[in-house]
Structure 1
Amino acid sequence: MTDRRYKQRKSSIVAKIAAVGCASIVLAGCIGFGIASAGGSAQEVDAFGIDALSAPVSEADTATFAENATDSSAREATVLASTAKRDISKGIEAIEAEEEAARIAAEEAARAEEAARVAAAEAAKAEQQARAAQDSAASALASLPDVDFSVGKEAFISTWTDRIDAYLAGSPLAGQGATFATAAWDYGVDPRWSPAISNTESSKGAVCFKPYNAWGWGQSGWGSWEEAINAHVAGLASVYGYSITYGAAMKYCPPNYDHWFNATLGQMMMI
């Protein structure tokens, strides 16, 4: 009985060992099959497990890791250097050009505004001076005695012949009083006007720019004082009217009309 129990226990132990062995064989086969399916090698099978995770890193692996890190750092440095070397001068130049153009435009606008202000001030000043000159001219004209045409032709010519001859005495136009007086009567012009202009333009015929042209009239000369006087008085009547005015002076001598007006009017008052 004892022997039989001993044999049974021994058989049971053997069976357990056999079962463990079969289980181990099956487990090893499963592991090998999994690694083979994943494309692994026998060395990977040996490295599989906890021991593989705790195995020390070799110097070759460390060198490879360092090399990879170095390559990554080099690539980053290259990218940064490339970014730093990027040419931004054109962008800066464009901005500077725009700023310079804006500055120049602002300066030109300021100069234009200042020029307009100065021009406006000068125009206002000129207008004020013109009004003052016209007022002065009107006052001066008011002091010029009127010419009486109601006395008749004979009395008119006689009176003004004497006065004009006295005014022209000693000049190239001396003795032409009757010519001036007769022409003034015929054309209805102030008899003092043409003789006075001759003084303003040529010092009473002393400096004529054309023959017998003592008045700066037109661009031609005449053959005698009589012809010239009649032509000038007739021209005054047709272009300027009866007698001197400030407007007539502006038309007769545009460059220096104010002086021309005052000088001629002053001479008329002397006749």
Structure 2
Amino acid sequence: MFAGSAACVVVTLCITIGIGTSFAGAGGVNTAGFGASGAAASEDASQTESLGAASDTGVRESSQLSNSAQRDITKGIETIEAKEEADRIAAEEAARAEEEAKIQAAAEKRAEQEANNPPAIDLSEVDFTVGKEAFIEEWTARIDAYLAGSPLAGQGVTFATAAWDNGVDPRWSPAISNTESSKGAVCFLPYNAWGWGDKSFSSWEEAINTHVSGLAAGYGQTITYWAAKKYCPPNYDHWFESTLSEMQSI
């Protein structure tokens, strides 16, 4: 009987110990599980804080870049405006220098021609020192009046501008057009009112510019007896007198 009781006690102790161990194991598992969840939550919080900090940093950097870009653009605009102003001033100075050079060249050409081939007409009316704008305005009006009613009517500004550009008496080419073709009424070739070689032209503007530059290159600044001999060798006396008379009427 005592042996059986002892056996029962042993079994009971074993069961008790087993149950305790089970509960202890279960408690350990749960504790470990709760510990892992806490760590994960802590890590998530850290990552959130890091993302938030990074976001704040990104916003600040974006703002700084925006401000920097705005400042750079402003400086760029100021640089462009300064360059444009400098270019404008340089262009005006270049135009002024070109005009002064034209005046000087015309004066030198006149002096040379007067020394070698005295002009047959008073050049005092042709004043290049007044400047381009005033020169063209004056001679446009005078030449237009002279050419009124002819095929060359309205080309005063073309004659005046070509005369300025080449330093030539603005009356010369219009007067020759009368001597050679009655101011363009009888042209032996299209738009050639000056008996100018064997050339045809596509417009009065092209023809006038070609003729005036040709006078400057080969005949001088204005009409001379020498120029008449070169321009119309067979009948230079009549050509000279007729052309000179027309020039004096402009």
Would you say the 8 A contact 2:121–2:244 is kept in 1? Answer: no
Query: Cα distance 1:177–1:256, how it changes in 2: closer, same or farther (>3 A)?
Result: same
Paired positions, count: 134
Distance in 1 between residues matched to 2:123 and 2:246, nearest whole Å? 11
Cα deviations across residues 88-110 of structure 1 (Å, max 9, x unaligned)? xxxxxxxxxxxxxxxxxxxxxxx
Residue equivalent to 1:203:
182
The alpha carbon displacement at 1:146 in A equals 3.8
Whether 1:160 aligns to 2:139 is yes
Residue equivalent to 1:171:
150
Would you say the 8 A contact 1:204–1:214 is kept in 2? Answer: yes
1:192 maps to a residue whose letter is R
Residue equivalent to 1:148:
127
Structure ID, larger Rg: 1
The TM-score with structure 2 as length reference comes to 0.52
1:231 maps to a residue whose letter is T
Residue equivalent to 2:209:
230
Distance in 1 between residues matched to 2:227 and 2:148, nearest whole Å? 27
2:248 maps to a residue whose letter is M
Distance in 2 between residues matched to 1:145 and 1:151, nearest whole Å? 12
Residue equivalent to 1:239:
218
**Runs of 4+ residues over 2 Å off in structure 1:** 140-146
DSSP-derived class of the 1:244 partner = coil
Cα deviations across residues 188-247 of structure 1 (Å, max 9, x unaligned)? 000000000000000000000000000000102100000000000000000011010000
The alpha carbon displacement at 1:141 in A equals 2.2
Would you say the 8 A contact 1:210–1:221 is kept in 2? Answer: yes
Cα deviations across residues 56-107 of structure 1 (Å, max 9, x unaligned)? xxxxxxxxxxxxxxxxxxxxxxxxxxxxxxxxxxxxxxxxxxxxxxxxxxxx
Distance in 2 between residues matched to 1:246 and 1:221, nearest whole Å? 27
Bigger RCO of structures 1 and 2 (CA < 8 A, at least 6 apart): 2
1:229 maps to a residue whose letter is I
Would you say the 8 A contact 1:197–1:215 is kept in 2? Answer: yes
The counterpart of 1:184, out of the listed 152, 163, 168, is 163
Q: Identity over aligned residues, as a percent?
A: 75
DSSP-derived class of the 2:144 partner = helix
Distance in 2 between residues matched to 1:211 and 1:221, nearest whole Å? 5
DSSP-derived class of the 1:220 partner = coil
Would you say the 8 A contact 2:121–2:223 is kept in 1? Answer: no
Whether 1:259 aligns to 2:235 is no
Note the residue ranges of structure 2 that are not aligned, 5 or more in a row: 1-116
Would you say the 8 A contact 2:120–2:225 is kept in 1? Answer: no
2:180 maps to a residue whose letter is E
Cα deviations across residues 120-162 of structure 1 (Å, max 9, x unaligned)? xxxxxxxxxxxxxxxxx97x92556441000000000000000
Q: Calculate the aligned-residue CA RMSD, in Å.
A: 1.6
Distance in 2 between residues matched to 1:142 and 1:257, nearest whole Å? 16
Would you say the 8 A contact 2:191–2:200 is kept in 1? Answer: yes
Residue equivalent to 1:115:
none
